[in-house]
Amino acid sequence: MAFLSSSIQQQPRLSSSAYHRLIPKASSSSSVDHHQPDNSSPSHHAPIGRREIVLKSSGAAMIAAIFQFSGSKPSYLGVQKNPPSLALCPATNNCISTSEDSSDYNHYAPPWNYNPEDGKRKKPISREEAMAELLEVIASTKPDKFTPRIVERKEDYVRVEYESPILGFVDDVEFWFPPGKKSLVQYRSASRQGNFDFDVNKKRIKALRLELEKKGWASESSF
């Protein structure tokens, strides 16, 4: 049972607008007989809460995790629309994200700046050059011997799957270059399964940051 509880895929904390997108709208061709009174309880029409969504989705994830340690890609990854940002973290302690509030010490991490004012660069680099430096560091750095694999790449977004050397657990790491004049990079690093990561995600982000600092990058603040 301990194995099952530690293998549950985590779900993010979503905004209220995101919950309504998760809940399917009622079909216009409902099978309810409108000539008969509706005897269903008031709770039948109540919106599905966050806890119920997590419980329902984690049940299927638990069954899948028995046979596959890597888990499946969470459906909520990518740049969120409202507001534009990476996803928040679940309540578990195996995720960090620049989208979190800075007061959340368990989940918040500061963004990076590839053209910091006090950096070592003689002249600023473009977003394309910064993306190339980031991809180079991702490919050459293996924190805790996790193997990186770039699975999605766009002009302003990169998603990497890091696979553990033992049992093949997979963590999802995202990097996003927000629009605007600021030379910032947002990121999110999260384990697909379990409740604790023994600071694996924080160590990974720190290892990548240290390599990027050699190229002139800097963190907006410490954590």
12-22 per-position pLDDT tens digit:
655 444 434 44
Can you give the pTM of this predicted structure? 0.69
Q: Give 60's pLDDT tier (boundaries 50, 70, 90).
A: very low
The residues, ordered by sequence, that sit 6+ positions from 200 with a Cβ below 8 Å of its Cβ are 94, 143, 144, 146, 171, 191
Dihedral-angle region of residue 45 (phi above 0 means left; psi in -120 to 50 means alpha; beta otherwise): alpha
Q: Give 11's pLDDT tier (boundaries 50, 70, 90).
A: low
Q: Which fold has domain 72-219?
A: TATA-Binding Protein (3.30.310)
Tell me: the pLDDT tens digits for 43-54? Answer: 445 555 443 443
Residue 191 near residue 168 (C-beta atoms within 8 A):
no
Residue 192 near residue 171 (C-beta atoms within 8 A):
yes
CA pair distance 184, 182, nearest whole angstrom: 6
Q: Which two tokens stand for residue 97?
A: 């994200």
Q: What is the pLDDT of residue 82?
A: 87
CA pair distance 205, 180, nearest whole angstrom: 24
CA pair distance 84, 129, nearest whole angstrom: 23
Given the structure tokens 């998603």, which residue do they identify? 159
Tell me: the pLDDT tens digits for 157-183? Answer: 999 999 999 888 999 999 999 999 899
Asked if pLDDT for residue 66 goes beyond 80, the answer is no
Q: What is the mean pLDDT of residues 191-214?
A: 92
Asked if pLDDT for residue 148 goes beyond 90, the answer is yes
Asked if pLDDT for residue 1 goes beyond 50, the answer is no
- Average pLDDT value for the chain: 79
Q: What is the pLDDT of residue 137?
A: 98
Asked if pLDDT for residue 26 goes beyond 70, the answer is no
Q: What is the mean pLDDT of residues 57-76?
A: 60
Burial (CB count within 10 angstroms: exposed 0-12, middle 13-18, buried 19+), residue 2:
exposed
The residues, ordered by sequence, that sit 6+ positions from 142 with a Cβ below 8 Å of its Cβ are 148
Residue 97 near residue 88 (C-beta atoms within 8 A):
yes
List the domain boundaries for the chain.
72-219
CA pair distance 160, 172, nearest whole angstrom: 6
